[in-house]
Amino acid sequence: MKKIIIMLSILFIVGCSSYPNYKQNGGSTIGGGRANFFTFTLGTSGHLSIKKIDNIKTGGLGFDKYVVKSGKHILSVNATNGKQNRSGNITVNLLPYKKYQLEAFFDSGKYGSSPARIELMDAINNSKLRTYYLE
């Protein structure tokens, strides 16, 4: 029984540390986002997950915050509002020591068909920096 508990503990620790850690000096932080309950129910906003950074899988659900070296990066993202799913790559240019957040919006709501509008936000000032579209 003791061996089973030790094995399960080891598997739990290894499983939780499976995504890459992009810590660098002068790094920037970027994260995907979850929609709030009300706007997700309406379908006007969605969950956005970061699946890859520069073609390296992030692991987990993709909602984590990632510290990356400043500069240009290609992010593979997925946006969903429960009925519509949009995936694609976006290129971001991140400044050193900044915190960024990605948010997803669906202008047609849950039952329409529209591109996902991805907003790159300054996470500190809550200001919109750039807009991307996923068809």
- Give the model confidence (pLDDT) of 8-62 as tens digits: 555 454 444 444 444 546 789 999 988 777 666 676 788 999 999 999 999 777 7
> Which pLDDT does position 1 carry in this prediction?
64
- The domain segmentation of the chain, as residue ranges, is 20-134
Task: State mean pLDDT over 91-96.
Answer: 95
- Distance between CA 52 and CA 107 in Å, rounded? 25
State the burial class of residue 50 (Cβ atoms within 10 Å of its Cβ: 0-12, 13-18, 19+). Answer: buried
Confidence band for 88, pLDDT divided at 50, 70 and 90: very high
- Distance between CA 61 and CA 53 in Å, rounded? 14
> Which pLDDT does position 64 carry in this prediction?
85
Q: What is the pTM of this model?
A: 0.76
> Which pLDDT does position 74 carry in this prediction?
97
Compute the residue count for the chain. 135
Task: State mean pLDDT over 66-77.
Answer: 94
